[in-house]
Amino acid sequence: GKEKWPRGEEKVWKDCMRDVDTDVSSITKSFVNHVQTSLARQPYNLDNLGAYQAAALSVRDNLLVNWNETALQYTRKAPKRAYYLSLEFLMGRTLDNALLNLGLKDQYAEGVKKLGFTMEDVLDQERDAALGNGGLGRLAACYLDSSASQELPVWGYGLRYKYGIFQQLISPAGEQLEAPDPWLDNQNPWELPRLDVSYEVRFYGHAERMNDGTPRAMWTGGQEVLAVAYDVMIPGCYTKTTNNLRLWESKPKRGFDLNSFNAGNYEAAVEASNSAAAITSVLYPNDHTSFGKELRLKQQYFWTAASLADILRRFKNIGKSITEFPDYVAIQLNDTHPTLAIPELMRILIDEEDLDWATAWKIVTNTFFYTNHTVLPEALEKWPVPLLEHLLPRHLQIIYDINLLFLQSVEKKYPGDRDRLARMSLIEEGFPKQVRMAYLACIGSRKVNGVAELHSELVKTTILKDFVEFEGVSKFGNVTNGITPRRWLDQCNPELSALISRTLKVDKAVWLKELTLLEKLLPLTEDAAFRTEWAGIKQRNKERLAHHVQTTLGLTINTNAMFDVQIKRLHEYKRQTLNILGVIHRYLTLKNMSAEEKKKVNPRVVFFAGKAAPAYYIAKLTIRLIVNVARIINADPDTKDLLSLYFLPDYSVSLAEVLIPASDISQHISTAGTEASGTSNMKFCLNGGLLLGTVDGANIEIAEEVGESNVFFFGHLTPAVEDLRYQHTYHPVPIEEKCPALANVLNQVSGGLFGDAHVYEPLLNTIRQGDYYLLSDDFDSYIAALAMVDEAYLDQTEWVKKSIRTTAKMGKFSSDRAINEYAESYWNIEAQRVV
């Protein structure tokens, strides 16, 4: 029988249960309690780090109350739930976000002050949780925030990497160096170890088909590893709903392999335990590239297998028939990284639940949803068949079976079309053969979506064209990305948030969750006093950034200049190179100006930040060029008041929170058709920064919202790109002829104006030869667009109007809108009120 609960005296239990703290005195009490007990520290020698830890532990107690009640509610009501499987969650810091979402920021600030600390110093002690590379991982974090804020029963599943994205250092020569990010070293108050929640995950071994008339097989032997859960609380904004992000840590099943140990082979025994721990030791620092490494495949399987086992166990507790699985569970695949979940669920349903193939496949294809985040070929995951066969023999069998049945159905619709079969096969022929993960994700899912209108069209007309023809277009959709206005406005730009609440006479508890209310700011473009306030806030954010750079890097920045910002992963398609070559062009132009001409120029400070994948040679060269151009330009007395340039090392979520509110203009200048969406473009615009960009990704939808007259567009459009590349290959025109301005800039770099003459040749040659990303095609119009930005900036009144209009029209880009689209049109889940 079931245990009676609570044990003992119910009243004693109930009287002792805590609720969320709301008043300053219980907050200070809990803070001091944690200093005394959890931290075992003396009040008189408590430093800022200790104060942060005490504050975090006390906030965590509050979150746990809500987190438990949310879990209880979900268990009782058993609604359909959605699971967001992502190899990356780029969370950043938690304390400030938790305080704002709980609505306790003021109370904590007051309490902390009474105890002799300032909130700012305390918040600044927290290390970023940087379990992601860039946009894809940060999107996952924004979606968790929105799911909780919209009271949706959504959990995240990921890996608890011991090392997050590497720390970036810049050498004296301007080279990127990488250092590990041991983010857990100071303990992590935001996670809850769940040593009781663990699963065994198998690798290698043998798979033997039963051949008993069923599709079953036995998978035995190999290596078994334990997946242990760590839970991270995800508070919603002004709601009790506090969801869960479950991260898996790998560990050896039995500490030591006793067989080897007894055989006297101590080293082999320890090695086995090392290899289990290695699985979740480090986040792969590659963005938009798939390297085919065995350990990465191990990570993917380890994580999908543990997550599915956990989801299945939870489903089974409801007591429904397995065929009802898709009525209770939706699983979103964040890119193809979790695609092994498809054959893994087939394996469980067939080998363990004993279902027939058709029933199992029907369950699978009603459970999964796949989001594609790129059409760049180098990013599309393919796994070598021999590697899969070795590591996951049963899954390879299942993939082959899926492929066979799939190709039979294609053959039936297009008899004799051999080319089509070869194109659509899950297996790419070659040496070795490879499994095309995007195709597997596509056919194994209920729906497929891209992340902005243009990108979703490109998915349908390029990489998945045959699949659209075969399966029908209704399976393919778009959910334009979004960003959480909690972190990316209220938290990073508190003054602007307060001005908005004051002006609209609407509490932020309302407009932060209904962001289209920002439209009510539109009439205020005509209010001079409001414009002054607006401009004043931008100015103070610029000073805050300058202060940050002064204290961290010792550099003094001219805050009277226009702040021009490009911050994102270094990648050729994002064209940081175009930006730095544009800066050099500007520098050369200034050098040739008379003193009189210079008076008309408005000063500009250009900021770059971003990491390059450690093995991405060309991207690293771009960083080196930026740093060395900065060195020359910033020291040139002829120009330094009018143009200066900074590369801020070790870009992170926290640095973005300081940079974004300070930008007058930001650059999103990818070759048309290459940036699936972009999300920092949305963050800048939400904070009243104007956008300089190409007609690409979500830039297009931003322009649709704010009006084309409020953005600065340049460059060739997507349909022209293919033709231009063809021209480059078959009718190349020397760069001196095609774009003399760019040729001159390249020659200056080659000639050693920024030192290291020979060093940059491989980078410059990517433009001189082939120019795959079309810098020479877009350079002139880029320079013209920059000139338009300068001109527009001269009219400050009009500029501030544009800035206000931009913020006002950004409501669409709240991740609340995006997550509601997923909930309604994809997952079919409903909000659950937790009281």
Tell me which of 160, 246, 373, 802 is the catalytic residue.
Answer: 373
Asked if 150 and 831 touch (Cβ cutoff 8 Å), the reply is yes
Least distance in Å: CB of 441 to ligand GPW? 12
Of all helices (H) and strands (E), which one includes residue 99? Answer: helix 95-102
451, 662, 692, 789: which one binds ligand GPW (CB under 6 A): 451
DSSP 8-state code for residue 224:
E
Between 30 and 679, CB nearer to ligand GPW: 679
Between 286 and 579, CB nearer to ligand GPW: 286
Interface of this chain with ligand GPW, residues 317 to 346, rule: CB under 6 A: 335
Residue 383, number of CB atoms within 10 A of its CB: 27
Between 111 and 482, CB nearer to ligand GPW: 482
Quickly tell me which residue has 């304390």 as its tokens.
95
Gap between the Cα atoms of 826 and 835, Å rounded: 27
Contact status: 373 vs ligand GPW (CB under 6 A): yes
Type of residue found at 719: P
Between 141 and 443, CB nearer to ligand GPW: 141
Name the segment binding ligand GPW (CB under 6 A); options: 99-107, 541-549, 676-684, 753-761: 676-684
683 has catalytic annotation: yes
Least distance in Å: CB of 570 to ligand GPW? 12
373 has catalytic annotation: yes
Please, where are the H alpha helices in 45-181?
48-77, 95-102, 105-114, 119-123, 135-149
Residue 353, number of CB atoms within 10 A of its CB: 16
**Residue 549: CA count within 13 A, CB half-sphere:** 25
Asked if 719 and 811 touch (Cβ cutoff 8 Å), the reply is no
Contact status: 288 vs ligand GPW (CB under 6 A): yes
Interface of this chain with ligand GPW, residues 112 to 141, rule: CB under 6 A: 133-136, 139
Between 139 and 217, CB nearer to ligand GPW: 139
Residues 6+ positions from 147 with CB-CB distance below 8 Å = 82, 84, 154, 234, 236, 243, 819
**Residue 718: CA count within 13 A, CB half-sphere:** 17
Asked if 178 and 169 touch (Cβ cutoff 8 Å), the reply is yes
Contact status: 673 vs ligand GPW (CB under 6 A): no
Nearest to 149, CA basis, from 385, 407, 583, 484: 484
Type of residue found at 236: G
Quickly tell me which residue has 């050729």 as its tokens.
572
Six-digit token string for 339: 């695609």
568 has catalytic annotation: yes
Total site size for ligand GPW, rule CB under 6 A: 19
Of all helices (H) and strands (E), which one includes residue 110? Answer: helix 105-114
362 has catalytic annotation: no
Tell me which of 436, 683, 801, 805 is the catalytic residue.
Answer: 683
109, 152, 379, 672: which one binds ligand GPW (CB under 6 A): 379
| 3-class DSSP state of 162 | coil
What angle separates helix 95-102 from helix 48-77, to the nearest 10 degrees? 50
Name the segment binding ligand GPW (CB under 6 A); options: 373-381, 484-492, 512-520, 685-693: 373-381
Contact status: 679 vs ligand GPW (CB under 6 A): yes
Between 160 and 288, CB nearer to ligand GPW: 288
Of all helices (H) and strands (E), which one includes residue 405? Answer: helix 393-413
Gap between the Cα atoms of 62 and 58, Å rounded: 7
Between 350 and 676, CB nearer to ligand GPW: 676
Gap between the Cα atoms of 274 and 251, Å rounded: 8
CA 168 to chain centre: 18
Name the segment binding ligand GPW (CB under 6 A); options: 74-82, 372-380, 760-768, 769-777: 372-380
In the chain, what is the straight-line distance between the N-terminal and C-terminal CA atoms, in Å?
30
Contact status: 164 vs ligand GPW (CB under 6 A): no
Least distance in Å: CB of 335 to ligand GPW? 4
620 has catalytic annotation: no
Interface of this chain with ligand GPW, residues 178 to 237, rule: CB under 6 A: none
Kindly report the three-state secondary structure assignment for every residue of 670-694.
Answer: CCCCCCCCCCHHHHHHHCCCEEEEE
Asked if 440 and 340 touch (Cβ cutoff 8 Å), the reply is no
Between 119 and 131, CB nearer to ligand GPW: 131
Gap between the Cα atoms of 248 and 232, Å rounded: 11
Gap between the Cα atoms of 801 and 528, Å rounded: 10
Which strands make up the sheet holding 427-428, listed edge to edge?
A: 382-384, 434-436, 427-428
Contact status: 694 vs ligand GPW (CB under 6 A): no
Contact status: 307 vs ligand GPW (CB under 6 A): no
Binding mask 463-502 for ligand GPW (x = CB under 6 A): ------------------x---------------------
448, 676, 783, 786: which one binds ligand GPW (CB under 6 A): 676
111, 153, 482, 678: which one binds ligand GPW (CB under 6 A): 678
Tell me which of 679, 694, 766, 807 is the catalytic residue.
Answer: 679
Name the segment binding ligand GPW (CB under 6 A); options: 184-192, 659-667, 672-680, 723-731: 672-680
Say if strands 167-170 and 176-179 run parallel, antiparallel, or are unpaired. Answer: antiparallel
Tell me which of 81, 568, 604, 624 is the catalytic residue.
Answer: 568
Q: What is the phi/psi pair of residue 343, to 5°?
A: -65, -30
Contact status: 287 vs ligand GPW (CB under 6 A): yes
Least distance in Å: CB of 141 to ligand GPW? 11
Between 307 and 374, CB nearer to ligand GPW: 374
569 has catalytic annotation: yes
Least distance in Å: CB of 450 to ligand GPW? 9
Least distance in Å: CB of 278 to ligand GPW? 22
Tell me which of 127, 240, 574, 668 is the catalytic residue.
Answer: 574
Contact positions vs ligand GPW (CB under 6 A):
133-136, 139, 287-288, 335, 373-374, 379, 451, 481, 675-679, 697
| Residues with catalytic roles | 373, 568-569, 574, 679, 683
